[in-house]
Amino acid sequence: MPNKDYKVPLRASRRLIAQGVGASMLLVALVTVILVTRQDNIGVTDSRRLPSSETTTTSTELDGRTVVVERLKHILRIRDQAFRDRNTAILADVYTVDCPCLEGDTNAIEELVTNNYHIVGGATSIRVRRVEQVSKRLWLVVADFRSAPLRIEAIDKELIREEPAGDELFQFALSKPTESTDWLLGRATAYRNDSG
């Protein structure tokens, strides 16, 4: 999903062609349990860089982080569904109008439709490393973006291309354009961790 590569056609970017896991309302209901039991470091900064006098995260900040991370996961499930169903219309509800992802994913899905290709496999997920609130309407999430192996097949199940699983570090920017909207994905760029 690197920003500069986002306009690359489907055949050139594996990250633009992922099949999704259907949106699960049960996951949303169980988010608290999942966050308590998993180890994805939501809201945790590397302790080697924290001074000992660092204050703890408030429950309001943690609640905001939880909401943003769960929204990002939901956005990625919708994105996966859009590729699986070859439906570009649902992307408008999860991306900002100026998000490069919107144009890139739309073009990739249209290429699938034009060639009558289908995605098999390729579900995506994230492992969150850091969450940061930049402003009241902007959060940044640094996470490993993972994708399962996938196949692109013609209508007669002829293999067009096969891609291995992938894992790359990304920074996702989620914004809320107005009070009435939900968090939307505004940008997804490859992230370089310069701290080693």
Buried residues in 43-78 as b, exposed as e (16+ CB within 10 A): beeeeeeeeeeeeeeeeeeeebbbebbbbbbbbbbb
CATH tag for 3-39+58-190 (out of 3.10.450.50, 1.10.10.10, 3.40.50.620, 3.40.50.11900): 3.10.450.50
Contact 108, 86 (CB under 8 A): no
Residue 118 pLDDT > 70: yes
Element (H, E) at 141: strand 138-147
- φ, ψ at 135 (rounded to 5°): -155, 180
- Tally of CB atoms within 10 A around 123: 18
Residue range 9-20: average pLDDT? 35
What order do you get walking across the sheet with 150-154 strand by strand?
Answer: 117-121, 150-154, 159-163
Ranges 33-42, 127-136, 151-160, 173-182: which has the least confidence = 33-42
35 half-sphere exposure, CB direction, 13 A CA radius: 18
- Token pair 């999860």 is found at 94
pLDDT of residue 168: 95
Angle value at C-alpha 139, between 77 and 124, nearest 5 degrees? 20
Ranges 12-16, 68-72, 80-84, 136-140: which has the least confidence = 12-16
Residue range 94-106: average pLDDT? 94
Residue range 115-138: average pLDDT? 95
- Kindly give, in sequence order, each residue whose CB lies less than 8 Å from that of residue 102, ignoring residues fewer than 6 positions away: 91, 92, 95, 96
161 half-sphere exposure, CB direction, 13 A CA radius: 15
- Kindly give, in sequence order, each residue whose CB lies less than 8 Å from that of residue 193, ignoring residues fewer than 6 positions away: 142, 169
Element (H, E) at 166: strand 166-175
Domain residue ranges of the chain, discontinuous segments joined by +: 3-39+58-190
